[in-house]
Amino acid sequence: MNLLTFHRVRTAIQENASPSTDTELAPVAGSLRELLTSSGVFETVEVEPTGDPDRLVIGLCAFRPFYSERDVAARFEEIWSDRVRYPFWESHAVHVEEGHVEFEAASRASELGHYVTVHLVAQRAGVPAQRASTG
């Protein structure tokens, strides 16, 4: 799904449901942080809840230079779809550019339940410089 279509869908959910509370967001943010960190794809991972209904959980990651942007996008989708999203409904979109991946998602807990929105940004980590040999 492209980002424009996703934003329309997200707006529709936001107009028909309440956002997750801080208590409901904490496990989403914690699971996302743990799964991204343990995936082996990222050098650094920061994930936090916010008060912004368009991105109730935000994340910034630096992905290891030997992974492609497509690898990162696939990992975001896998973690979201298999482990983090609420069971009732979800939608997401991925935007990929050279050295940069953005993932936006929304999910609703039940027909009458709350929603969560997520925005993850990943940038390629720099390749470490080699030390000059001393001799």
- pLDDT digit string, tens, across residues 119-133: 999 999 986 655 555
* Residue 122 main-chain phi, psi, to 5 deg: -125, 135
Strands 89-97 and 100-108 turn out to be: antiparallel
**66 lies in some domain:** yes
| Domain interval for residue 19 | 3-124
**133 lies in some domain:** no
> Residue 88 and residue 33: Cα distance in Å, rounded?
22
Amino acid at 111: E
pLDDT value of position 2: 86
Q: pTM of whole model > 0.75?
A: yes
For 39-52, b/e burial (b = at least 16 CB within 10 A) is: bebbeebebebeee
Above 60 in pLDDT, residue 84?
yes
**131 lies in some domain:** no
Confidence of residue 101 (pLDDT cuts 50, 70, 90): very high
pLDDT, mean over the chain:
92
Give how many domains the chain has, as a whole number. 1
